[in-house]
Structure 1
Amino acid sequence: MQKNIILMSLAAAMACSSAAQAADGTINFTGNVVTAACTVSAAVATQTVNMGTIVASAFAAVGAQVAPTRFTISLSACPETLTTASIKFDGVANTVNSSLLALSSGQTAAGLGIGIYESDGVTLIPLQTAAASISLSTRAGSASYIAKYVSTAAEVTAGSANAVTNFTIAYN
């Protein structure tokens, strides 16, 4: 009899402990699937932004920003159901400042990366982070960005300074 009481007590304790491990909340996932997205023109989808020729001494200190160069991404033929979009830039991150693009492998310049900024030229868009939203109210939209060389070392070494980024469009 005493064994049965002990076994029943043990079973009741186990049942109570599993209730203590119950979930404390709920996460609902929502989204939409669309039949088509906006069109990005071939000229915009694969473009070259010429950063120019810069003298290494133009980088006076770590964090110096040189050669601001504007480029634009335009979207057209957007479905009516899409109201905004945002661009996210990705690529190999600079080892000193992960918000900047690293120079491509084989480049001879050193001590710098490329920053991509909102059109105000002040707001840095960190890699893997969505830029400001683009309105698609007319079934089209565009956004201008500014690329700048940014020094990551006290001394910048002269040489070729190319980098590559891909971009992804997220629709809201």
Structure 2
Amino acid sequence: MLKLFIRNFVKQKTVGILNISSLSLGIMVSVIVGLWTIQSFSFDNFHTNGNRIYRSITQVKVNGVENLYPSIFKPYGEEAIAKYPDIEAMCRVVINYNNEEVWVGNQIYPDSKTLIADNNFFTVFTFPIIEGDNAASVIDSPDKVVISEKAAKRLFPGENAIGKTI
């Protein structure tokens, strides 16, 4: 069988190269689609109620151009909760695309990635809290923030970040 393949490949190099290339491309696309599917089904699977968390997207058409935004307005969420009793809670999470500065004392940390979320964020999402209050009260007032362990090490090297002002 291998001898036949080599003999035909030597006689018809163009056809052989096209066949091998298309077979390689087909296998490569199948592997990429498979890996993408596995990643999609495993994304954020660590949340306790991950199968009950949904994301709403706003579709806006301006000047004939359609844009999708990964957020909704608060009145829409409140109306949805009132209209559909299956919705248990609504939590808005807004990514701050402005890459605002974070100030710690007189030190400025530019291009800091920040999120703005409702106070029930840690009751909907089960991110682990390493230090500080419990999930229900960790951001129960506007003057509280939560930072990641990586951000705490960057902003407060060698010291405890709890109780510090940002």
**TM-score, normalization by structure 2:** 0.30
Larger RCO, structure (CA 8 Å, separation 6 or more): 1
Higher strand share: 1
**TM-score, normalization by structure 1:** 0.29
Higher helix share: 2
